[in-house]
Amino acid sequence: MSAAASFEALTPTSFLLRSGRVYADRDAVIDGERRFSYAEFLDRCLRLGGALRNMGVAEGGRVAVLAPNTHVLLEAHYGIPFAGAVLVALNTRLTAADLSFIVAHSGAQVLIYDFEFEGVARDVAAQVGGGLRLVRAGRPDDQYEHLLASSGPYHRAVTDERGLLSINYTSGTTGKPKGV
């Protein structure tokens, strides 16, 4: 048996693809009143991948997400790589100016944001300038759910487990603690 025949890239997407089959009926996500089985969660992530491709996000494109610890943020960790794109998860505690810098610096084309951050997301879009597409999430009637419902599944196979999956920005201080 050759190494190529037995090799599977170790990526988050490969784990979810397997879990969607093996644990299809088991709970994967519990977010308040919402629950998704592994099969449902996989479908939602694949549809996010399809939605991003339909929006013109190409392989290697950047997608920023401004959301608390909800199913939307979790879906982004899988759906964005399924699209072949790169996740830029944003710290919800940063200012619009700091977020604008990150979005511009990373080259994000899309900003998926929780409805609670509507004002901040609009400020970021205004500061970044044209070209940033906003997608509001967090309510069943919002754009995010509509995109998932109207998109087919998409999955670009990850062939290099060392490929770029996300761009992470730190937001802590690097100075000395007081008293040192």
As given in the structure block, the two tokens for residue 96 are 């619009």
Give the 3-state secondary structure of 31-89.
Answer: ECCEEEEHHHHHHHHHHHHHHHHHCCCCCCCEEEEECCCCHHHHHHHHHHHHCCCEEEE
As given in the structure block, the two tokens for residue 5 are 């025949």
Q: What is the pLDDT along the chain (180 residues), one digit of tens a residue?
A: 455 666 667 788 888 999 999 999 999 999 999 999 999 999 999 999 999 999 999 999 999 999 999 999 999 999 999 999 999 999 999 999 999 999 999 999 999 999 999 999 999 999 998 889 999 998 766 899 999 999 999 999 877 788 899 999 987 655 445 544
Residue 86's beta-bridge partner residues? 62
The DSSP 8-state label assigned to residue 134 in this structure reads E
pTM of the model: 0.89
List of residues 6+ apart from 45 with CB closer than 8 A: 16, 75, 78, 79, 82
- Cα(142)–Cα(103) distance, integer angstroms: 22
Residue 85's beta-bridge partner residues? none
Express each pLDDT in 24-63 by its tens digit. 999 999 999 999 999 999 999 999 999 999 999 999 999 9
List of residues 6+ apart from 80 with CB closer than 8 A: 48, 49, 52, 63, 65, 86, 87
Compute the Cα dihedral for 39, 41, 44, 45 and give only its sign: negative
Strands 86-89, 108-114: pairing is: unpaired
